[in-house]
Structure 1
Amino acid sequence: MRILKIAMLAATLLPLGSYAALGGAPSMDASAPTMMLRSVAPDTPSAAAYTVRASQTTYGVTVREYVLPTNVVFAVTWDGPVRPDMNALLGSYFPNFVSSGNGHPRGTGALIERNGDFQIESAGRAGHFFGKALLPRLMPANVHIEDLQ
């Protein structure tokens, strides 16, 4: 009986959808449907420059993780009817996202912020939100921001 109570408590406290935090390891949540979309090879045939993993939250948001061979997420993109949990998605870079408004209140309008270490583009309207966040210093040499869909 005690184990059942602990399991029920854990199920209510754990998030429903899980994905990688920017700059961290990719998500390993077995409950979230995840699929490897593709590996993109660099000019040298020794290894892939990065892989793309996609998962969908319970709210219908598709999150794509761009993962280096060193198992670090250098970019994430999202597309869906609501914004994903930005705190979970951006991890330690979330304070940069919050302070991007430069002290001005931010609503649901578009946000494009680029500084040396962190870039984010987030836009949308009710029923359709999309965006991308990346760490330019970690991006492979032949990858362009436009390549991240």
Structure 2
Amino acid sequence: MKGILIAGAAAVLGFSALPVWAALGGAPSWPDAPRTPGTRLMAAANNAAPYTVTTATQESGTVIHEYLDARGNVFAVSWRGPRIGSMDVLLGGYFPAWQKGLAAVQASRGGGYGPVAMRNGDLVVETGGHMGALTGRAWLPLALPQGFDASQIQ
């Protein structure tokens, strides 16, 4: 069952061996990650809500954003591109909740693949797109900074 679930997640989200820079709920991982040629890192602050967005563009063209609160903890991540890194790395300790939620969504629609919107009290994950053009975002609703709206996660 575990192998099927992991295979399902891989098919839905397009696993790759490329590095991922963030893990939900912890410190950003990109400062310690090995740099790959073509990777750009940028940061931008927002004055309305105390958060920072860092952006990494991988060689494949995939753009990964991580959203950090004032303490430097990652409260949201998003991705757009032909591939993403391993969801277990991207979601960190929230990966088991994602596996359980993905299984429930797939069971509710009788199996198959496609966009997924998984929500529980601790975690929200939305994925979509198609092969070669994947998008998604994940966030921790209880960790959003005051004044931050989830629609800002791009």
TM class by smaller structure: 0.7 to 0.9
User: Between Structure 1 and Structure 2, which shows a larger proportion of helix residues?
Assistant: 2
TM-score norm. by structure 2 comes to 0.75
Secondary structure at the residue paired with 2:135? strand
| Cα offsets for 1:55-96 (capped at 9, x unmatched) | 023432110000112110000000011243111100111111
Q: In 1, distance between residues paired with 2:92 and 2:73? A: 13
Structure number with bigger Rg: 1
Matches within 5 A, 1:104-143: 104=107, 107-143=112-148
Alignment partner, residue 11 of structure 1: none
Runs of 4+ residues over 6 Å off in structure 1: none
Partner of 1:3: none
Query: Counterpart in 1 of 2:6?
Result: none
Root-mean-square deviation over aligned CA pairs = 2.0
Q: Secondary structure at the match of 1:77?
A: strand
Secondary structure at the aligned position of 1:38 is classed as: strand
Distance 1:96 1:106, change over 3 A: farther
* Corresponding residue SS for 2:145: coil
Equivalent pair of 1:34/1:53 in contact (CA under 8 Å): no
Which structure ranks higher in relative contact order (CA pairs < 8 Å, sequence separation ≥ 6)?
2
Do 2:41 and 2:57's aligned partners in 1 also have CA atoms closer than 8 Å?
Answer: no
In the alignment, what sits opposite 2:12? none
Give distance in 1, aligned partners of 2:92 and 2:112: 21
In 2, the alpha carbon distance for the partners of 1:62 and 1:106 equals 29
**Which residue matches 2:35?**
31
- Take 1:142 and 1:133, find their aligned partners in 2: how far apart are those partners? 18
**Judging changes above 3 Å, is the alpha-carbon distance between structure 1 residues 83 and 36 closer, same or farther for their aligned structure 2 residues?**
closer
| CA deviation profile, 1:12-65 (whole Å, cap 9, x unmatched) | xxx7523111111112125153422410113xxxxx600000002343211000
Where do 1:1-149 residues align within 5 Å?
16-26=18-28, 27-28=30-31, 29=33, 31-32=35-36, 33-42=39-48, 49-100=50-101, 101-102=103-104, 104=107, 107-149=112-154
